[in-house]
Amino acid sequence: MALNVICADAFEYNNERFADIQMLRYRLNGFENLSARQKALIYYLSEASLWGRDITTDQQGRYNIPIRKLLEQVYVNLSEKESDEARHFITYMKQIWFGNGIYHHYSKDKFTPEFSEKWLRAQVKKIKVEISKKELDTLCRVIFDPTLLAKGVNLAADADVVLTSAHNFYGDGVTQKDAEDFYAKMKASRQGSDLPMFGLNSTLIKEKGQLKEDVWKMGGKYGNAIAKIVENLKKASEYAENDKQKEVILKLIKYFETGNLDDFDAYSIAWVGSLDGMVDFICGFIETYGDPLSMKGTYEGIVQYKDMEATKRTQTISSNAQWFEDHSPVDPRFRKPQVKGITATVINSAMLAGDSYPSTPIGINLPNSDWIRAKHGSKSVTISNITDAYNKAAHGNGFSEEFVIDAETRALMEKYGDDCDYLHTDLHECLGHASGQLLSGTDPDALKNYSSTNEETRADLFALYYLADPKLIELGLLPDEEAYKAAYYSQMNNGLMTQLVRIKPGNNIEEAHMRNRALIANWCFEKGRKDNVMELVKKDGKTFLRINDYKALRGLFAELLAEIQRVKSEGDFEACRNLVETYGVKVNPELHKEILERYAKLNLAPYKGFINPVMTPVFGSDGRITDVKVDYTETYDHQMLRYSSQYAAQ
């Protein structure tokens, strides 16, 4: 049976590297323990999700699909791959696959080909690609002219963001004003507070001077791909784990059939309420970052199943929430008499598609509709096998060798680092944010622009304080009394030094989580100086952190937590500003320069993405799926070429 079990040690998380990208693989932990029904459900949901790939690609630029098709023909027929031109071409092809088009997935800038137009035209001629001269000329202009359609999404305030963005959500000649007026009118035509997200699932076009929506639905725009999505959703519905889940799938099918956004809302409400199954998914037009007006949803899909081990961990933490609250080192007046921990849902991703592939989020919080969130709530999950892959892939990338003081500390972090990381996140999310109370009469907005830094600092300190508590060993969450030291070292090292790799020279720290880490690290470093709790030492001209007294460091975390909680409970704005501005914002320019130089030498890829597993169903004599095999050996280019032919709906 369980042929898809693979040895943890043998799994290669890192795959190939090109341009600014490092490709990784993720592992379907515990997939082999799912029932045949659950596996079949995952399989058909995955098929449904993958069928939308060309929608995403077309949404992100009208020439994306013809360019990809042309280049793929050249790619598979390359007779030599060693020349500079060929190597540059291969990199460009891989970038286009990664970006689902000719724009960078993050910066939205057009990729710059480093091979020549002449070389490309010669290849096209050599392999006799069937393409008209006019079309080839157009595609070459789009590829090689850096000024033409330069930005996928242009948010510059002084421009018509619709006309100057190349993403393909608005038809020829539609201006920003056209779109804004059109949707303002649409909104005005409907009363009530439960309005759908107008414009989410259509291209706005101009026909004979009239604006109208070309809706993405069965029989409409992208109808072929959507028909395939629906076909597979129907098959998936036959394997639903319960009635609620089946209802979710059927409501999504209805929405794809009608294109009516009220149907989408009905689906979203059912989805928010569907919590019991092991399997869940998103598939459709979800996030609006790809549209400069933030209205149009880019197609994406993620198929997922619960991570039972991690969910057990968060349940253990939440069910002991009152014990943690009662023993926290803050003034008893600031503790909650009745605290309810939050159980975070942790999932494994089984398939990534559309805008979530190959670059993918590590957490999801949906739906985006404000009124549904207010009235029906939202679902929030973290994706453990993706986070796990990031962590595992980072082992051995040289970072630890460069920035951790000695082999002993490195061994500690190697042994306990990942476990501590997950636990830190759980304690932060499930207890930290939920802990504490305001004194009566305190204005909840008293900390103003410093409130989010205060809040993150508070949650982090709560987690750090308890990471060293014997209670965690008693609850079976940590193996022994050494483990917490890995978290303490990495917290301090990150806050004092390594997180600075994300700051440009001369800049201050702005982001709340980064400010929180700097605040904690700098405050504890200063307060611990007289007892030599920790020190910065020089080895071969490089600065390293050495922690001499981990127990004393826990005492400092307790002291700072008490103060940070007091500041919040009393709404002490002045004290809060003082703490943040003194410890959380400024950067030591000399140390910063040193860290940046050391980091640059490691030559790590700034962006990462994932190769999907390959799922193969096994059918019984009755035509029902009896098992699904998972394979992790497909290469990046093979997967991309396979998707292009297998899920071509245009």
Q: Which residues bind Zn ion (CB under 5 A)?
A: 456, 459
Q: How far is the CB of 425 from Zn ion (least distance, A)?
A: 9
**Of 308 and 342, CB closest to Zn ion:** 342
Tokens of 191: 């009363």
Q: How far is the CB of 432 from Zn ion (least distance, A)?
A: 7
**Of 213 and 456, CB closest to Zn ion:** 456
**Of 351 and 567, CB closest to Zn ion:** 567
Q: How far is the CB of 460 from Zn ion (least distance, A)?
A: 8
**Of 265 and 456, CB closest to Zn ion:** 456
End-to-end alpha carbon distance in the chain: 38
Cα–Cα distance for residue pair 76/644, rounded to 1 Å: 12
Q: How far is the CB of 232 from Zn ion (least distance, A)?
A: 37
Tokens of 510: 């702005």
Q: How far is the CB of 365 from Zn ion (least distance, A)?
A: 13
**Of 31 and 466, CB closest to Zn ion:** 466
The residue with its CB nearest to Zn ion is 459
**Of 422 and 544, CB closest to Zn ion:** 422
DSSP 457-494: HHHHHHHHHHHT-HHHHHTTSSSSTTTHHHHHHHHHHH
**Of 21 and 383, CB closest to Zn ion:** 383
**Of 236 and 310, CB closest to Zn ion:** 310
**Of 461 and 625, CB closest to Zn ion:** 461
**Of 352 and 467, CB closest to Zn ion:** 467
**Please, what sign has the CA dihedral across residues 483, 488, 491, 497?**
negative
- Neighbour count for residue 605 (Cβ, 10 Å): 14
Q: How far is the CB of 22 from Zn ion (least distance, A)?
A: 27
**Of 58 and 456, CB closest to Zn ion:** 456
* Burial category of 118 from C-beta neighbours within 10 Å (exposed 0-12, middle 13-18, buried 19 and up): exposed
Q: How far is the CB of 516 from Zn ion (least distance, A)?
A: 8
Tokens of 235: 């098959």
Tokens of 90: 């291969």
Nearest Cα residue to 248 out of 267, 220, 221: 267
Contacts of residues 27-30 at CB distance under 8 Å and 24 or more positions apart, as own/partner, are: 27/385, 27/388, 27/389, 27/632, 28/4, 28/348, 28/350, 28/385, 28/613, 28/630, 29/307, 29/348, 29/384, 29/385, 29/388, 30/305, 30/307, 30/308, 30/309, 30/348
Beta strands in 288-400, from DSSP E residues, in sequence order: 298-306, 345-354, 363-366, 379-383
* Burial category of 445 from C-beta neighbours within 10 Å (exposed 0-12, middle 13-18, buried 19 and up): exposed
Alpha helices in 189-242, H assignment, sequence order: 223-237
Q: How far is the CB of 452 from Zn ion (least distance, A)?
A: 9
Q: How far is the CB of 415 from Zn ion (least distance, A)?
A: 26
- Neighbour count for residue 79 (Cβ, 10 Å): 8
By DSSP bridging, strand 607-611 and strand 279-287 are unpaired
Instruction: Please give, one letter per residue, the 3-state secondary structure of 61-118.
Output: CCCHHHHHHHHHHHHHCCCCCCCHHHHHHHHHHHHHHHHCCCECCCCCEECCCCCCHH
Q: How far is the CB of 486 from Zn ion (least distance, A)?
A: 21
Nearest Cα residue to 171 out of 215, 211, 204, 220: 204
Q: How far is the CB of 187 from Zn ion (least distance, A)?
A: 34
**Of 456 and 570, CB closest to Zn ion:** 456
**Of 278 and 381, CB closest to Zn ion:** 381
Q: How far is the CB of 454 from Zn ion (least distance, A)?
A: 11
Nearest Cα residue to 513 out of 572, 445, 455, 555: 455
Cα–Cα distance for residue pair 527/51, rounded to 1 Å: 57
Q: How far is the CB of 287 from Zn ion (least distance, A)?
A: 21
Note whether 317 and 426 are within 8 A (CB).
Answer: yes
